[in-house]
Amino acid sequence: MAKPAVSQVANATDEEKASVAQLIDNANAALRQFAGADQARVDEIVTAVAWSLYKPENARHLAELSVRDTGIGNVADKIIKNQRKTFGALRDLMRVRTVGVIENDTGHGVIKYGKPVGVVAAITPSTNPAATPVNKSMMALKGANAIVIAPSPAGWGSTNATVELMRGALEKVGAPADLVQILPQPVSRNMTRLLMEQADLIVATGSQNNVRAAYSSGTPAIGVGAGNVPVIIDSNADLTDAAQKICASKTFDNSTSCSSENSLIILDDRYDEAIAALKNAGGYRCSKAERELIHDRLWVDGNLNRDLIAKDADVFAAGVGLDESARHARFFMVEEEFDPQSPFADEKLSLVLTVYRARDFDHAVELVKNILEVQGKGHSCGIHTRNLDHPVRLAEEIDVVRVLVNQAHTFGNGGSFNNALNFTLSMGCGTWGGNSISENLNYKHFINTTHLVTTVAEDKPAEEALFGAYHARYGTD
């Protein structure tokens, strides 16, 4: 690819430039050694990297490091995330071809060959400092690429430990360790941007600032949009099932996932019953005064308070100043009338769930649209219902990539063993969310495709077949 003649990172130091250049050189040298690997060899390498995180003692160790380093989430759920996402991604990757002939459609005279994109720059967030780097590395390696991780500075320690395990796994199977590298500490904005300029592909997960920087770097880039998931509880929903799934999803890893429910929209005729079911599942119904406490302390100068986001429920309740009884809850419900200026309409990265009362289903759809206009357009929404027409309406009317039906959103949105979405930690949100992809990040985004095209029997319809209906209605003028 054509690289920028002059770097946009004008204030980078010589040391920063040399450090990134060395990583790129190392990656390209590793790619030369990797070149020509067949599918079996590629799959062996991907499996080795997957095992480096899935291995129970490693999954636990990295979960503990992640929580210690970032203060975000909880160890038990990060262990599950490390293993479940890795196992599911490996399942998906082992079922596809990515190198050599990947498709042979002789009937149409096309043979497709998969080829590497080159060096991948992977921007990863502090919310998943182990699972996301491994997920992206598996996909990159599946395409016979090299990858350099640019972690959040807060998560560098745990991400570096993850990278060291992946490098050890590569060496164990005789592959170049430099197929997977990490920016050295201290990670700076300059180094991340230099890496983005010099790589062949950027895959950015995390803050929207990082995503915008990736798109403006001059390098082909894939970014993800912001989450802010609204979920409807319909009039005929199984309330107990819905409440249990919402609780499990909302509380998983203390709501660090972009797929975590941020708002519930409950139909008026089941509102009180649904609130009762949510309370039985572990929800705490905040009073108006408690709503004000959360409002004043969860946001500081318009920004989320890092001392309260993604914290255990008892820590959050104590930090906000809620009543002692609230400290035994699992999540916190704040009831609102929709106001686009209210921070409760936005993503909260905490165990706070905004609850809206809808007059009818038309009003519920309107609320979903309004919430996504605040933030989260393109990402996803969900519904708990027995009426199969209502999810269809959401899919037809709402500008999101994913509509989940009767599912725990956090577990279903990024791939599940009981839905057809592929496993990923990076959700594309289409042009609605400012992204180039409108699906879950997957192996297809890490390969180039060469099409070998031969001639077939002529497929040229008659002029009448294509223009006949138009001419019959509008004439030939």
For residue 113, give the amino acid letter. Y
Q: What's the order of all strands across the beta sheet hosting 221-223?
A: 180-182, 146-150, 119-123, 201-204, 221-223
C-alpha 118/C-alpha 121 separation (Å) is 10
- Burial of 361 per CB tally in 10 Å (0-12, 13-18, 19+): buried
Active-site residue flag, 258: yes
C-alpha 266/C-alpha 93 separation (Å) is 38
Under DSSP, the state recorded for 422 is: P
Under DSSP, the state recorded for 296 is: H
- E strands, 88-246, are 100-105, 110-116, 119-123, 146-150, 180-182, 201-204, 221-223, 229-233
Q: What is the CA radius of gyration of the chain?
A: 24
Which is catalytic among the residues 247, 258, 381, 429? 258
Angle of helix 131-142 versus helix 156-172 axis, rounded to 10: 40
Q: Which residues of 426-453 are buried (b: 16+ CB within 10 A; e: fewer)?
A: bbbbbebbbbebbbbbbbbbbbeeeeee
**β-bridge mates for residue 453, sequence order:** 110
Peptide bond into 186 cis (omega under 30): yes
Structure token digits, residue 218 = 């001059």
CB–CB of 223/427 below 8 Å? no
What contacts 24+ positions apart, CB below 8 Å, involve 27-32? 27/119, 27/146, 27/147, 27/148, 27/178, 27/179, 27/181, 28/118, 28/119, 28/146, 29/176, 29/178, 30/146, 30/176, 30/177, 30/178, 30/179, 31/116, 31/118, 31/119, 31/144, 31/145, 31/146, 31/179
> Active-site positions?
258
